[in-house]
Structure formats: C-alpha cells, structure tokens
Amino acid sequence: MNKKTIGMAAIFCASAGMAFASGSSLYVTFETGAVPTSADDCDAPDYCVPFDWTEILIEGDCTYINGDLEKREMLHCEPDTYMVCFDKLNNILDADDNSSSKGNGWASGIWGSDCFVDNGDNTRSLRIGVTGRPDGLDGVFNGLFQNGPHGQLGEFDVCVVFLDAGGATVSTEVYTDEFVIGAEAFHINYEVPAAATQVHIDIDNQVDAVEVRCDVDFMKLTNLVPLCDYCIEQIGGLNCECRPTDTKLGWFDKSCTLILFEGTGGAIEPYAKLCAVADANGEINIAVSGEYDCNFNGLHDDLEDAYLGSHYERALIECPEVKPGHGEAGCYTLKVYVTGAHNGTTDDNGAGAGGEAVTALEQALSVGDLNQDSRVDTADLGVLLGNFGWNGN
C-alpha cells in the first residue's frame, strides 16, 4: 500500500477561489507519496489494512481538505529486441541480442566499426536492422520466427553515437519506432560522418509510457465527536481537462468493508457529498476516487471484469494489458462539517461533551439510539456498521 504524508496549514483556499473566516476552519493538504512504477501498481491497495490510512485531524467548525487524484505516466511495453547491421546486399555483418547499455537488459547494442559500409563514392553508410526477439536467431531477418510473429510490442529508441579516433563524439542520432502488431522488422540507414572511426548503437526499450488514471485517496478523519453525524462534501476542484473533478466518496468500517458511497450531492452537480457517522473513537474512514469506481480499487467498474479475466492470457507478448483506471485526474476540495446531535460541542478541540451529556449518551446507547436523535432506525444501523470490526487504536 502506498504511504501518504500530510502537510497541515491554516490558510485560505485561494486555489479553490474561496475564502473563509480565519479561526473557524482548518485547511489540510492531502499529499500522495510514492508514485507507482507499473500499470498494475495503482494507488488503490490490493487489500485494506485497518488503521493504516492517512490520519487527518478535524478541528474547528469545519475542516477543508485539499487533495489530488493524480494521473500516472507508467512504463508499458518493454520489447525484447534483436539488432543486426547489413552490407549493401543485406548480408548480416554483425548482430546482437542483449548488449545495450540502456533499457532493462533485453535491449540490443553494437559497438565498433564493423558495420560501416563503403559505398564506392568516398562515402560510408550504416545500415541497421531492428526486430523483436526471437526473430533473427533463426538467421533470417523478416519479423517472423519459424513462420510465426516474433510477438514483441511497444516503442523503442535506437541511439547512434559516431566517434572519432580519439573517442570524441562526432554526431548523434536517435530513431524512434514501435512494434504495433508484433511482426515488424525495421531497416534504418545513416550516412557515416567522414571523421567517424567507430559507432556505438544502443537500443532503449523502456520508452513506451502510458497514462493511467487510477489514483484513490484513503483517509481516516479523526478528532470527531463520537457517534455524531458528519458530512463530507466536495466544494471545489478542476480536473486535467479544466472541468469539475468528478469524484466518488466512500465510507468504510473498521474492517475495511464499504458501508456507503456517493457520487453526487456536492456544491455543484458533478461533485459528491457523503454523510457518515463517527465511530466510538471519533473516527470516519473515507476514500476518494473517480466517479466510475464504486468499489474503490482504482478500476473503471464497467471495464474491470474484462481486464481481470484477460490480464494473464497474452503469454507470447511481453507487454502487460493497460489497467483500465477510473479515468479521473484532478484536484478536489472537501468540506468536513458536523450535522448531528452534538452540533453545539464540535468546536471544543475534540474534548466532547461531559457531565450530563455523557449520562444522556449512555442512556441513548442502552436503548439502541446510537446517534441520539431520539429514534432507533436505519441511521443507528449505519452507526453500528461504522463501528463494526475490531475496536482499538
């Protein structure tokens, strides 16, 4: 699970275009920590760990939380390449499988001058061929291996450095292409500079990046009034397309079971609003994701079944399926405010009610009125679910 860090400051929310009276609210910035390194490593954890979410201290009449659903640039296909160089008759002069100084160890590289071809007119040429392994291992450079496609997919860079006799760089070239169907074989020709005596050719097979929008922010709101009703309402935020960030808010119990989710009801139509009940420890666990992620795993709900079912079926092709993230990336501002029975005791630095209030609370609990609204109904069941699981800190 990716860890999070919190920076807290009582400031005005200029980025949201709003200002609030000083002393009546606290602004908290929810910052994402480690950035995933692969398309499978989105921000949503594989499982939920109780009491391991980012803790956010709620103070004053209300608290405003500034967060961000980040978009990820992740390495995708890393093709295993095979490189050769030819003479004018397409005879192979040199070949290599995995000698590149770049990439992940599956990229090819050739160093030296054996690939220089005299053109007969006082010029020389460098004729390179790049294909996907295992093509080339059969001695034929044609995109196929034993009459089948080599199966490699993804982009690559061919980095060519011409050097003089002293080892100084004469010129550099970078050629970029892509295996699209897994049966391509590329021919690349260069004119060799007159001063060049050798060449270094390195393929970089780690240049194929894809954007995946799958960030999920998990928070534990603390210092709340126990068994009191609160609302978490999105009041601002724009996504990468400069439209209102469309979020889904989820409420979880102590065992990380989803109790309720909401995707509407906020300050404007795309914004979400979620009302929950603080548990006996004065805590509420929430998650923020994109609108199309109702189970808060980072995936688009309409696409995840097909993705999970086919994810491991492409054994030949060394290229993972792109994770179908929920698709939203942008900032958001949440307002956390009390709406329940203890409205008069919320601005007491978390001390809660004492004396007679404690006695009234005990009496209400004894008859099942968990939220102390003088009724025993589904709202009390929500309080029970919010506290369901193991109790402690």
> Which pLDDT tens digit goes with each residue over 211-224?
888 888 888 898 88
| Cβ pair 368, 104 in contact under 8 A | no
Asked if 183 and 263 sit in the same domain, the reply is no
Q: Which of 6-20, 75-89, 140-154 has the lowest mean pLDDT?
A: 6-20
Instruction: Confirm whether 76 is domain-assigned.
Output: no
- Angle subtended at Cα 344 by Cα 342 and Cα 347, rounded to the nearest 5 degrees: 100
Asked if 273 and 373 sit in the same domain, the reply is yes
Determine the Cα–Cα distance for residues 195 and 391; give it in Å rounded to an integer. Answer: 76
Look at residues 166, 189, 207 and tell me which one is the last residue of a structural domain: 207
Look at residues 182, 207, 232 and tell me which one is the last residue of a structural domain: 207
Instruction: Confirm whether 163 is domain-assigned.
Output: yes
How many CB atoms within 10 Å of residue 257?
Answer: 12
Asked if 143 and 189 sit in the same domain, the reply is yes
Instruction: Confirm whether 36 is domain-assigned.
Output: yes
Looking at residue 298, its pLDDT comes to 86
Asked if 235 and 366 sit in the same domain, the reply is yes
Asked if 224 and 349 sit in the same domain, the reply is yes
What element of type H or E holds 92?
strand 92-96
Sequence length of the chain is 393
**Interval 354-377: pLDDT, tens:** 334 445 555 555 556 666 666 777
What is the reported pTM? 0.63
Determine the Cα–Cα distance for residues 151 and 65; give it in Å rounded to an integer. Answer: 47
Mean predicted confidence (pLDDT) in 61-71: 86
Determine the Cα–Cα distance for residues 44 and 309; give it in Å rounded to an integer. Answer: 19
Instruction: Confirm whether 298 is domain-assigned.
Output: yes
CA distances from 84 to 130, 139, 156, 173, 228 (A): 7, 10, 15, 17, 71
Instruction: Confirm whether 336 is domain-assigned.
Output: yes
How many Cα atoms are found within 13 Å in the side-chain-facing hemisphere of 29?
13
Sheet holding 229-236, edge to edge: 4-9, 25-32, 62-69, 330-338, 229-236, 273-277
Determine the Cα–Cα distance for residues 197 and 164; give it in Å rounded to an integer. Answer: 5
Instruction: Confirm whether 392 is domain-assigned.
Output: no
Q: Is the CA virtual torsion 367, 371, 375, 380 positive or negative?
A: negative
87 exposure class (CB count in 10 Å sphere: 0-12, 13-18, 19+): middle
- Structure token pair of residue 289: 């994701």
- Structure token pair of residue 112: 């030296």
Whole-number percent of the chain with pLDDT over 90: 45
Instruction: Confirm whether 86 is domain-assigned.
Output: yes
Asked if 198 and 329 sit in the same domain, the reply is no
> Which residue has tokens 């160890």?
105
Looking at residue 9, its pLDDT comes to 24
Residue 18 has pLDDT above 50, yes or no: no
What element of type H or E holds 286?
strand 284-290
| Cβ pair 107, 239 in contact under 8 A | no
Higher pLDDT, 53 or 126: 126
Q: Which of 28-32, 112-116, 230-234 has the lowest mean pLDDT?
A: 28-32
Mean predicted confidence (pLDDT) in 123-134: 95
* pLDDT category of residue 136 using cuts at 50, 70 and 90: confident
CA distances from 252 to 43, 56, 107, 221, 259 (A): 17, 15, 46, 11, 5
Asked if 317 and 196 sit in the same domain, the reply is no
Looking at residue 72, its pLDDT comes to 79
* Closest to 250 measured CA to CA, from 106, 385, 101: 385
* pLDDT category of residue 30 using cuts at 50, 70 and 90: low
Looking at residue 155, its pLDDT comes to 94
Highest mean pLDDT among 19-23, 29-33, 201-205: 201-205
* pLDDT category of residue 76 using cuts at 50, 70 and 90: confident
Residue 344 has pLDDT above 60, yes or no: no
Asked if 64 and 158 sit in the same domain, the reply is no
* pLDDT category of residue 253 using cuts at 50, 70 and 90: confident
* Closest to 222 measured CA to CA, from 336, 333, 335: 336
Looking at residue 254, its pLDDT comes to 82
> Which residue has tokens 């007119």?
121
The number of domains in the chain is: 2
- Structure token pair of residue 142: 């044609």
Mean pLDDT of the chain: 78
Asked if 279 and 373 sit in the same domain, the reply is yes
Residue 210 has pLDDT above 60, yes or no: yes
Q: Which of 276-285, 322-331, 364-373 has the lowest mean pLDDT?
A: 364-373
Determine the Cα–Cα distance for residues 96 and 82; give it in Å rounded to an integer. Answer: 6
* pLDDT category of residue 393 using cuts at 50, 70 and 90: very low
Look at residues 188, 207, 226 and tell me which one is the last residue of a structural domain: 207
* pLDDT category of residue 41 using cuts at 50, 70 and 90: low
> Which residue has tokens 């126990």?
226
Asked if 258 and 375 sit in the same domain, the reply is yes
Residue 185 has pLDDT above 60, yes or no: yes
Domain of 94?
81-207
> Which residue has tokens 């860090």?
5
Asked if 107 and 183 sit in the same domain, the reply is yes
Task: Specify the CATH number for the domain of residue 122.
Answer: 2.60.40.3230
Task: Specify the CATH number for the domain of residue 221.
Answer: 2.60.120.380
Looking at residue 366, its pLDDT comes to 57
Asked if 363 and 252 sit in the same domain, the reply is yes
Instruction: Confirm whether 128 is domain-assigned.
Output: yes
Residue 165 has pLDDT above 80, yes or no: yes
Looking at residue 53, its pLDDT comes to 66
* pLDDT category of residue 318 using cuts at 50, 70 and 90: low
Residue 337 has pLDDT above 70, yes or no: yes
